[in-house]
Amino acid sequence: QPVSITQRNIAALVNSDYCVSYKADGTRYLMLIMGPDRVYLIDRGNFVYKPNVLHFPTVSWIRENEKRSLSSSRPDFLNDPNGHLVNTLLDGELVLCHDHSKPPNISTSEVSGTPRFLIYDMITLNNKPIGRLAFFERYSTIDKQVIWPRNTGGHLGLVDFGIQSFSVRRKAFRALQDTEELLKPAFLQSLDHAADGLIFQPCGP
What is the CATH number for 81? 3.30.470.30
Q: What range defines the domain where residue 101 resides?
A: 26-176
Q: How many domains does the chain have?
A: 1
Q: Residue 185: inside a domain, yes or no? A: no
Cα 118 to Cα 26: distance, rounded to the nearest angstrom = 10
Q: Residue 18: inside a domain, yes or no? A: no
pLDDT exceeds cutoff 90 at 123 = yes
Q: Which residues of 52-74 are buried (b: 16+ CB within 10 A; e: fewer)?
A: eebbbbbeebbeebbeeeeeeee
Q: What pLDDT does 109 receive?
A: 43
pLDDT band at 7; cut points 50, 70, 90: low
Cα 134 to Cα 163: distance, rounded to the nearest angstrom = 35
Q: Residue 126: inside a domain, yes or no? A: yes
Cα 125 to Cα 131: distance, rounded to the nearest angstrom = 9
φ/ψ of residue 128, rounded to 5: -105, 120
Q: Residue 74: inside a domain, yes or no? A: yes
pLDDT exceeds cutoff 50 at 107 = no
> Which residues are registered as beta bridge partners of 90?
31, 122
Q: What pLDDT does 102 receive?
A: 59
Among 23-27, 66-70, 90-94, 176-180, the range with the most confident prediction by mean pLDDT is 90-94
Q: Residue 132: inside a domain, yes or no? A: yes
Determine if the pTM surpasses 0.75.
Answer: yes
Check residues 43 and 69 and name the one with the higher pLDDT.
43
Q: Residue 137: inside a domain, yes or no? A: yes
Average pLDDT of the chain? Answer: 87
Q: Residue 182: inside a domain, yes or no? A: no
Question: How many other C-beta atoms can be found within 10 angstroms of the C-beta atom of residue 91?
Answer: 17
